[in-house]
Amino acid sequence: MQEPGTTTRRGSVAWALVITSVAGFMAALDNLVVTTALPSIRKDLGGGLADLEWTVSAYTLTFAVLLMFGAALGDRFGRRKLFVIGIGIFSAASAAAALAPGMGELIVARAVQGVGAAILMPLTLTLLTAAVPAERRGAAFGIWGAANGVAVATGPLIGGALTEHVSWHWIFWLNVPLGLLLIPLARLRLDESRGANARLDIPGTLLASGGLFGLVYGLIRGNADGWTSTWVLTGLIVGAALLGGFVRHGIRGKNPMLPMRLFRSRAFSAINAASLLMFLGMFGSIFLLSQFLQGVGGYSPMEAGVRMLPWTGMPLLLAPIAGAVSDRIGGRPVVATGLALQAVGLALFALVVSPDVSYASQLPAMVISGIGMSLFFAPSANLVMSSVRPEEQGIASGANNALREVGGALGIAVLASVFSAQGGYESAARFADGLTPALWAGASAVALGSLAALTAPRFRRPSVPAARERATEPVRV
């Protein structure tokens, strides 16, 4: 005989998984979806190189610097409520970007998109955690991780396909119907929840936002403006100083938004270090390899994206399995193995890169990198959420996502610097000369991430009663 309420419970879990995965997909997709559309945008709206760069970095900057504040707002005023507000802001800004009459308006719309993404993204994990029983979270996080991983990695493919076959405007219009569908579904199908004794930490928010803005701005603009330019040095120095103040505030403050005591947990410290290094190596490598396939291989943006699917599309197939495996043996060995495979894949790329390399020669590196990426996303999310107390999960999610974004910006800046020091765009040979050491740098960063993951504590299987405990008690409204 079926236990009363089982069907309803399973239905709630399914709805939570669908809603949070689609919302996370939208926010993650817009990290890179605009990159392959930039030539068409410039043709229609005009502007110089700096304007094109800001159409990418305006989103990344606001997304990164406001993630923790978005999580704190959800804990304070209601996670479902802020989740819906974040989707509304993101969807409206997407429409504004599609309708932008000039580059200035497009850049502003992209920045507002980042605000909406920063609110909704960290709340996807806390809402999903609240809806799914502890013993089933690994598989649920696997599906969520697959959606987010595919969105980040296939952004250039989707952007190139829409630009090539429809119009660049549709990379933004795509978000609008999805947002309009998600808002009522979230209101009807998700339970409201809040963090216990949640308070807004205004000083901490200003320190973290200002520090991350300065640091990420300096990293993104370093290659374009020069690492010794006044604005870049100011951003890096002031950003580092503000982040130092944020750490001090987290140690001594009365109710800090990110208590530094969280980093006393080896699991929390290890997985955040691994996440930053993973995104550093992955973002920077995809940024350069997509250009290599187009500029040296001669493929169109869409053709290049299709040829990267053995790498970028692999999480869709394997991430749910990785999540289920991590439930049985723990997240640490799965994450460490995934990062090691990603490092091996990037190293194989570095070994075969040449001006006339065939696609068949690159395929093994793509497959191994794809398997490695698949093993990272779901177990890492599970490790983050299980390394802190339930009432701290919103802040932990925001911190982890912020560090991922910072890692991505750092990866593009660092690997592009290595590339420009050894090569350039003058010829296929020069591009390959610069790409090879950049890929070695990316492989080294991800390998360090694998070592960081190994410092996490070993997995202990919870007792049956403990495994069935809910992470948060929903507050029905």
For the chain, domain boundaries: 10-188+257-460, 201-256
Contact (Cβ atoms closer than 8 angstroms) between residue 116 and residue 89: yes
pTM for the predicted model, two decimal places: 0.76
List the CATH code of the domain at 10-188+257-460. 1.20.1250.20
pLDDT by residue for the chain (477 residues), tens digit each?
A: 444 444 444 557 788 888 888 898 888 888 778 877 776 787 788 775 556 667 777 887 788 778 778 877 888 888 899 999 999 999 999 999 999 999 889 999 999 999 999 898 888 878 888 777 776 777 777 777 777 767 876 787 788 888 888 888 999 999 999 999 999 999 888 888 777 666 677 888 788 778 877 887 787 677 667 888 898 899 999 999 998 998 899 888 877 877 788 888 888 889 899 999 998 998 888 878 877 887 788 887 788 778 888 887 787 778 778 877 877 777 788 899 999 999 999 999 999 999 988 888 999 999 999 899 888 877 887 788 777 777 677 677 777 877 887 787 778 778 877 887 788 777 888 889 999 999 999 999 999 999 999 888 775 554 434 444 433 443 332
| Cα angle, residue 267 at apex, residues 82 and 446 outer, rounded to 5° | 90
